[in-house]
Amino acid sequence: MPSKSSSSAAPSRLQERTLLTIAGHDPSSGAGITADLQTFAAHRRFGTSAITALTVQSTLGITELKTVDHAFLRRALDHLVADLPPAGIKIGMLGSSEIAATVAGFLATVRSQEGKSKAGNQPPSALPVVLDPILRATSGHDLLPPDAIETLHQQLLPLVDWITPNWSELSALTSQPVETLGQAEAATQLLAARHPHLHIVATAGDHPQPTDLLRLPSGDIHRYPGEHLNSTSTHGTGCAFSSALLCHLVLRDSPIEAVRNAKHFVTEAIRNAPSIGHGKGPLNLFGQFS
């Protein structure tokens, strides 16, 4: 039998390796909860999850979305973290203003229980929280109603540390056109003016020159030139990137290193992806480790 000391130490080690994803469910496992959990596992993290919405979805796209009951979601989150407190939290598709407000309320409670000060709109960094603001599917289906964007601004963004919009999402969050790298940089500055504490990563993986931007709370901007890969296996790249980013933050990478390593993870996951399905197929989230 294990000694008492080794038995008592095990839960602490597991908690340090536990990450929580709050996101929607993709039945094809290319994106959402299942992609997040695979990414966590690829980085040797234990993943827990709370589903915000169910979808009718495949590699051909999404045709229907149904959010879960918001009170049920809150009970699920409270019950889960009381037993398995996470070392970091990733938030993906929310689906409605009501769900966004519910997740914000949950985060406010988590922050309060940590005893951290949120004065001056400065959330604590001991528990990194990464938001992937999924607003619209590639197929054109709205995944968050436009009127819910203000809920993100007012209730959720003050409580997260990182946000990882693509250019289209950055445009929606700032009401500015984002079609060039210069416009993307200007939009990150505009978003930062409203939320100065945020680390903002503007991703450009769906562009011919996939250069990502990192805007730090200090105001410094870092560019990450990427490699364009001719592949149809690109479903869930945003989910994988934000989840990998969280993993590297928990692994104590610096912000600059965390973005670089997450981008490399996604690039290799696309490079090694299988060709399955009749649309945009999934990544190989274990590709660089096989």
pLDDT digits (tens, 9 = 90+) for 107-129: 999 999 876 434 444 444 589 99
**What are the two backbone dihedrals, phi and then psi, of residue 140, each rounded to the nearest 5 degrees?**
100, -5
Instruction: Write the CB contacts of 75 (distance below 8 Å, at least 6 apart in sequence).
Output: none
How confident is the model at residue 114, as a pLDDT? 78
Rounded mean pLDDT of 4-26? 70
Q: List residues bridging with 22 in a β-sheet.
A: 50, 91
Confirm if 215 and 221 have CB atoms less than 8 A apart.
Answer: yes
Q: Above 80 in pLDDT, residue 220? A: yes
- On the question of pLDDT at 25 being above 70, the answer is yes
pLDDT tens-digit map of 39-92:
999 999 999 999 999 999 999 999 999 999 999 999 999 999 999 999 999 999
pTM for the full model? 0.91
- 16 has pLDDT over 90: no
Query: Helix, strand or coil for residue 275?
Result: coil
Sheet holding 18-25, edge to edge: 61-67, 46-58, 18-25, 88-91, 129-131, 162-163, 199-202, 212-215, 221-224
pLDDT at res. 122: 46
What's the pLDDT score for residue 120?
Answer: 43
Q: What is the DSSP string of 166-234?
A: BHHHHHHHHTS---SHHHHHHHHHHHHHH-TT-EEEEB-TTSSS--EEEE-TTS-EEEE-------S--
Structural domains of the chain in order of their starting residue, each with its CATH number: 12-289 (3.40.1190.20)
Residue 281: the pLDDT is: 94
pLDDT of 31 > 60? The answer is yes
| CA pair distance 236, 241, nearest whole angstrom | 9
Structure tokens given for 233: 């296996």
pLDDT score, position 13: 59
The alpha-helical segments, DSSP class H, found in the chain are 4-16, 32-42, 70-83, 97-114, 149-151, 167-174, 181-194, 237-250, 255-271
Segment 224-273, tens digit of pLDDT? 999 889 899 999 999 999 999 999 999 999 999 999 999 999 999 999 99
